[in-house]
Amino acid sequence: MFLKRLARPVLAIPRVGKRLLVLSIDISLCVFTVWLAFYLRLGEWVRLFDDRFWQPEWAAAISIAIALPIFVTQGFYRAIFRYAGWPVLVTVAKAMMVYGLLYATVIMAFGIPGVPRTVGLIQPLLLLLTVGGSRLFARYWLGGLYQSQLKRAALPKVLIYGAGTAGRQLAAAMSNSHEMRVVGFLDDDTRLHGQMLNGQPIYSPDDLPGLVETLQVSDVLLALPSASRKLRNEILLRMRAVHVSVRTLPSVTELAQGKVSVSDLRDLDIDDLLGREPVVPDQQLLSQNVSGKVVLVTGAGGSIGSELCRQILKAEPLMLLLIEQSEFALYNIHQELQAQLDESPVRLVPLLASVRDAERMREIMLTWRPDTVYHAAAYKHVPLVEHNPAEGIKNNVLGTLTAAQAAAEHGVGNFVLISTDKAVRPTNIMGASKRLAEMVLQAMAVTMPQTKFSMVRFGNVLGSSGSVVPKFRQQIRDGGPITLTHPEITRYFMTIPEAAQLVIQASAMAKGGDVFVLDMGQSVRIIDLAKRMIELSGLSVRDESNPEGDIDIEITGLRPGEKLFEELLIGDNPEPTLHPRIMKAHEDFLQWPLLREKLTALEAALDTHDVEFVRSILEHIVAGYSPSGEIVDWIFLEREA
């Protein structure tokens, strides 16, 4: 450890100083090897510059006079650490052959009074060993650390935003990082500007544009765990103008405990891109229909279903039943949840099943008699469902009907449907099927009041499968272009955890037949989201005003069934609830006898794959459904062709 600590100041010596240091060492070795040669020849130690003994100082002076010119001409001092390993031995050996020949000639042929002639043979051999050994020692002592410093000098340079505890912990975790190098801190506290923290200067955020140029900063790492969403939004707005890549980190507590490596630094959290302040959940509403109860989640392996499972597990149910028709998805979510249980008594039951299988659903409901069912199983990708309408309707409508009937027959207290804003005045099969599923539950709530049927309607969730955010991120990594269907398209967005928490809280307020609508805030222009992601990646948009930019945005045209704008309400009379982010809608529906008759006709049309008749029935049942284009069902198109 001492040698390692000593290496750093040695490496910090200027190049001229290093050359002089090595030159001094070589002179010392010439003197030392002459002294050692005298000992080996005479069998006793002699003192230099002592007339009572032989005259070793002459032998040492001759050694220095011969060795230094040879060492200089052989390039020993052009680079201190260049000669390392076997190359240094070859170079030293060649130089020492010349040196040994000259030194032996002077000592043996001409002779020096008081100097044994055999010293001319012994000393060159000793000098060969010591000079070669000194180079190898330098290689092993300093070489690794030197190369490490060279590599770190070439690493991307980053600034940490936040000079508090989180910033200090992050800087400490990155001190030996081989991926990036911290060159300073940014902090809004003016009292800290110009101060040093862990050997790094603290700058004002206003200096960032200049720092990017002078320090060649490529990334800014946010270490602001307690900052409000408003403050983070202001910081991100500032970052966008500078074109640096902004990244955030996992829990600083995890970093400090060594649970996470610095390589886990990631892109901005999705809610940072959203710029929305989530509301702290009401713990009583979260636990009311979950804690200590048997809970069932259909579509448990999907984006929403899996997050529902995570949130439910935190509320400690008695048992959590996971229903999923995809074996791979079921395995993944079961393994993830199982790893989180620790000593928890919660029992997880993974069940392969399709919600369209009435017998299987009844068997599950009869065996475990769940208290609450969250029905997240659905086909949700608009273009895919538009191309496969029969399967979309069977899964989204008839699957919901099958699961709801099995739940009602076996005493389920609460049945919650995960719905979508696309159910409002739909222009596509997916939206129409989800609105029809809502109508099924509204009608059943009247005829089967023993089960509280409710539905929660919300817009897009950021980060789900098919979401634009992971798609845009990958396109940015690939160098673009970012593909966008229309420059004016807008969507409502919410993070998956917030949506799942609000779904659970809304279900706790259900009385039967409720259509809950989540407050999604302001709709977001997708092109603005794309530009924000490009700029916060340290890049720029390439367009007519900036032809030298990095990433193109390419408009591809609306896909089948896609709307420019989404709505959350059919009517304009939302009713507030106990939660500020949850509203209650009043939507018209058909009574069960009439709806059952329509559903029977729909099933018959589906069985014959009569897509035109299916669309016609949907138009009659679902108010506001207006198909936006021609039929694009693959089978229909193939038969037409």
Secondary structure in 3-state letters for 495-529: EHHHHHHHHHHHHCCCCCCEEEEECCCCCEEHHHH
Q: Is the peptide bond before 201 cis (omega within 30 degrees of 0)?
A: no
- Domain co-membership, 107 together with 196: no
Whether 555 is covered by a domain: the verdict is no
* Average pLDDT, integer, range 356-360: 97
Whether 255 is covered by a domain: the verdict is yes
Predicted local distance difference test score (pLDDT) of residue 82:
44
Q: Are strands 524-525 and 490-491 parallel, antiparallel or unpaired?
A: antiparallel
Confidence of residue 261 (pLDDT cuts 50, 70, 90): very low
Inform me whether the pLDDT recorded for 212 exceeds 80.
Answer: yes
Predicted local distance difference test score (pLDDT) of residue 152:
47
Gap between the Cα atoms of 200 and 602, Å rounded = 70
Q: Which two tokens stand for residue 315?
A: 């509320």
- Domain co-membership, 345 together with 215: no
* Average pLDDT, integer, range 261-285: 64
Whether 72 is covered by a domain: the verdict is yes
Lowest mean pLDDT, pick from 259-273, 288-302, 574-588: 259-273
Predicted local distance difference test score (pLDDT) of residue 217:
84
Inform me whether the pLDDT recorded for 275 exceeds 80.
Answer: no
Taking phi over 0 as left and psi of -120 to 50 as alpha, with beta for the rest, 415 belongs to beta
- Domain co-membership, 230 together with 97: no
Burial letters for 461-479: b for 16+ Cβ neighbours within 10 Å, e otherwise? bbbbeebbbeebbebbeee
CA angle, residues 82, 86, 88, in degrees to nearest 5: 45
Gap between the Cα atoms of 67 and 27, Å rounded = 9
Query: Which residue from 431, 379, 377 is spatially nearest to 404, judged by alpha carbons?
Result: 377
Predicted local distance difference test score (pLDDT) of residue 433:
96
pLDDT in tens, 583-594: 898 888 999 999
Lowest mean pLDDT, pick from 50-64, 165-179, 346-360: 50-64
pLDDT in tens, 229-242: 677 777 777 777 77
Instruction: Give SS3 for 350.
Output: strand
Query: Which residue from 341, 404, 352 is spatially nearest to 375, judged by alpha carbons?
Result: 404
Residues 608 and 551: beta-carbon distance below 8 Å: no
Domain end point (choices 224, 240, 268): 268
Predicted local distance difference test score (pLDDT) of residue 210:
86
Query: Which residue from 380, 398, 428 is spatially nearest to 631, judged by alpha carbons?
Result: 428
Gap between the Cα atoms of 214 and 187, Å rounded = 18
What is the total count of domains within the chain? Answer: 3
Whether 320 is covered by a domain: the verdict is yes
* Average pLDDT, integer, range 90-101: 77
* Average pLDDT, integer, range 162-185: 77
390 burial type by CB count under 10 A (0-12 exposed, 13-18 middle, 19+ buried): buried
Confidence of residue 619 (pLDDT cuts 50, 70, 90): very high
Inform me whether the pLDDT recorded for 14 exceeds 70.
Answer: no
For 319, the domain range is 283-460+493-521+567-621
pTM value is 0.66
Domain end point (choices 96, 125, 150): 150
Q: Three-state SS string across 241-254, please?
A: HHCCEEEECCCHHH
Number of residues assigned to the chain? 641
Gap between the Cα atoms of 132 and 402, Å rounded = 84
Gap between the Cα atoms of 613 and 619, Å rounded = 10
* Average pLDDT, integer, range 578-605: 91
% residues pLDDT > 70 (the chain):
80
* Average pLDDT, integer, range 41-69: 69
Inform me whether the pLDDT recorded for 255 exceeds 60.
Answer: no
Average pLDDT, the chain: 81
- Domain co-membership, 227 together with 89: no
- Domain co-membership, 381 together with 510: yes
Alpha-carbon torsion (120, 126, 129, 132), positive or negative: negative
- Catalytic residue of the set 380, 422, 563, 584: 422
Predicted local distance difference test score (pLDDT) of residue 516:
92
Whether 57 is covered by a domain: the verdict is yes
Residues 584 and 514: beta-carbon distance below 8 Å: yes
Predicted local distance difference test score (pLDDT) of residue 124:
78
Confidence of residue 367 (pLDDT cuts 50, 70, 90): very high
* Average pLDDT, integer, range 603-621: 92
Q: Which two tokens stand for residue 253?
A: 């507590």
- The CATH code of the domain that includes 199 is 3.40.50.720
Query: What's the half-sphere exposure (Cβ side, CA atoms, 13 Å) at 43?
Result: 0
Inform me whether the pLDDT recorded for 430 exceeds 90.
Answer: yes
Gap between the Cα atoms of 129 and 299, Å rounded = 74
Residue with the larger pLDDT of the pair 128 and 326: 326
- Domain co-membership, 76 together with 124: yes
Predicted local distance difference test score (pLDDT) of residue 236:
77
pLDDT in tens, 120-152: 778 778 877 787 777 766 666 555 544 454 444
Predicted local distance difference test score (pLDDT) of residue 49:
56
End-to-end, the C-alpha distance of the chain in Å comes to 79
Inform me whether the pLDDT recorded for 4 exceeds 60.
Answer: no
- Domain co-membership, 412 together with 504: yes
Confidence of residue 60 (pLDDT cuts 50, 70, 90): confident
Predicted local distance difference test score (pLDDT) of residue 329:
96
Gap between the Cα atoms of 558 and 577, Å rounded = 36
Gap between the Cα atoms of 574 and 571, Å rounded = 8
Residues 139 and 85: beta-carbon distance below 8 Å: yes
- Domain co-membership, 354 together with 247: no
Inform me whether the pLDDT recorded for 294 exceeds 60.
Answer: yes
Q: Which two tokens stand for residue 431?
A: 């939206």
Inform me whether the pLDDT recorded for 262 exceeds 60.
Answer: no
Predicted local distance difference test score (pLDDT) of residue 595:
95
Inform me whether the pLDDT recorded for 116 exceeds 50.
Answer: yes
Gap between the Cα atoms of 596 and 311, Å rounded = 35
Whether 29 is covered by a domain: the verdict is yes
Residues 354 and 298: beta-carbon distance below 8 Å: no
Q: Are strands 266-267 and 294-298 parallel, antiparallel or unpaired?
A: unpaired
- Domain co-membership, 244 together with 175: yes
In degrees rounded to 5, what are phi and psi of residue 434?
Answer: -70, -35
Known catalytic residue at 157: no
The string of DSSP letters for 316-339 reads: --SEEEEEES-HHHHHHHHHHHHH
Residue with the larger pLDDT of the pair 242 and 12: 242
Domain end point (choices 82, 117, 150): 150
- Domain co-membership, 7 together with 93: yes
Gap between the Cα atoms of 575 and 256, Å rounded = 46
Gap between the Cα atoms of 67 and 102, Å rounded = 9
Inform me whether the pLDDT recorded for 153 exceeds 60.
Answer: no
Q: Which two tokens stand for residue 489?
A: 């398209």
* Average pLDDT, integer, range 183-207: 86
| DSSP letter assigned to residue 191 | G
Query: Which residue from 169, 164, 193, 197 is spatially nearest to 183, judged by alpha carbons?
Result: 197
In degrees rounded to 5, what are phi and psi of residue 624?
Answer: 90, -5
* Average pLDDT, integer, range 25-45: 77
Residue in the structure block whose two tokens are 């704008």: 565
Confidence of residue 570 (pLDDT cuts 50, 70, 90): low
Residues 356 and 406: beta-carbon distance below 8 Å: no
Residues 561 and 429: beta-carbon distance below 8 Å: yes
Rounded to the nearest 10 degrees, the angle between the axes of helix 2-11 and helix 144-153 is: 50
Q: Would you report the helix, strand and coil content of the chain in percent, each value rounded to 5? A: 50, 15, 35
Query: Which residue from 320, 367, 322 is spatially nearest to 344, judged by alpha carbons?
Result: 320
Predicted local distance difference test score (pLDDT) of residue 64:
81
Inform me whether the pLDDT recorded for 223 exceeds 70.
Answer: yes
% residues pLDDT > 90 (the chain):
32
Residues 38 and 119: beta-carbon distance below 8 Å: yes
Residue with the larger pLDDT of the pair 398 and 113: 398
Whether 543 is covered by a domain: the verdict is no
Burial letters for 484-516: b for 16+ Cβ neighbours within 10 Å, e otherwise? bebeebbbbbbbbbbbbbbbbbbbbbbebbbbb
Whether 224 is covered by a domain: the verdict is yes
* Average pLDDT, integer, range 208-232: 79
pLDDT in tens, 543-559: 888 888 888 999 988 87
Gap between the Cα atoms of 617 and 632, Å rounded = 17
Query: Which residue from 51, 58, 43 is spatially nearest to 111, judged by alpha carbons?
Result: 58
Gap between the Cα atoms of 210 and 216, Å rounded = 9
- Domain co-membership, 223 together with 321: no
- Domain co-membership, 256 together with 354: no
Query: Which residues have CB under 8 Å from 173's CB, separation 6+?
Result: 255, 256, 262
Q: What is the dihedral of CA 530, 533, 536, 541, to 10 degrees?
A: -30
Lowest mean pLDDT, pick from 153-157, 200-204, 287-291, 307-311: 153-157
